[in-house]
Chains A and B, each alone.
Chain A
């Protein structure tokens, strides 16, 4: 089955700096890669996703890049703000299916004012 590795497990940055979280996946048939943000005590919420037919996608301060050959994808947050502090999870669909997502173990991002 699919295996998703996420690094780092914790990340601390100063407000205004950039943050990068990286994930690798094992199933070459995976074609959908979402990122979820989970604030403390809250539910995970989708912040951005990318499909395998594109290499990069941006939404304001957030961008995701995908390298299908190397089977890795990354989340980039620029001009970080304290409200970006949360746990971020990457995921990949299994076997190219539409339904089953395998999640990474998460990255705790702390943005220091």
Chain B
């Protein structure tokens, strides 16, 4: 079946612009996660959704970052007024239980 998909695969933007990153989880997976992976770094937890609610937003770096999930499926991560330090790969994962299935990621470059 289809795995987790993310779009766009690459995004280049100018400092100060807003960006939206999309995640389509595996159908039926109730839990969805966003991570950030900077070059040579591990996976930094950003936010977790159970259904449409986000019980844990503790990893969002600042109030410029927000995320929503609708219909218990698609999620959008929005970064407002992007900064150069936001450049990274943003990964989405979904899970029915414990194993997290990752998407291919969106590589964000802020010039």
Name A's B-contacting residues (CB within 8 A).
Answer: 6, 32, 34, 36, 42-46, 49, 89, 91, 93, 98-106
| B28 adjacent to chain A (CB < 8 Å) | no
Interface 9-mer from B12-20, B67-75, B78-86, B98-106? B98-106
Name B's A-contacting residues (CB within 8 A).
Answer: 4, 31, 33, 35, 40-43, 45, 48, 50, 56, 91, 95, 97-100, 102-105
Whether B97 contacts A98 by the Cβ 8 Å rule is yes
Whether B99 contacts A46 by the Cβ 8 Å rule is yes
Minimum C-beta distance from A69 to chain B (A): 23
Whether A89 contacts B43 by the Cβ 8 Å rule is yes
Name the CB-closest residue of B to A98: B98
- Given A99-B48, A102-B45, also A34-B99 (CB < 8 A): yes
Query: Across the interface, which residues of A come within 8 angstroms of B103, CB to CB?
Result: 43
Name the CB-closest residue of A to B48: A99
Whether A34 contacts B98 by the Cβ 8 Å rule is yes
Query: Across the interface, which residues of B come within 8 angstroms of A46, CB to CB?
Result: 99-100
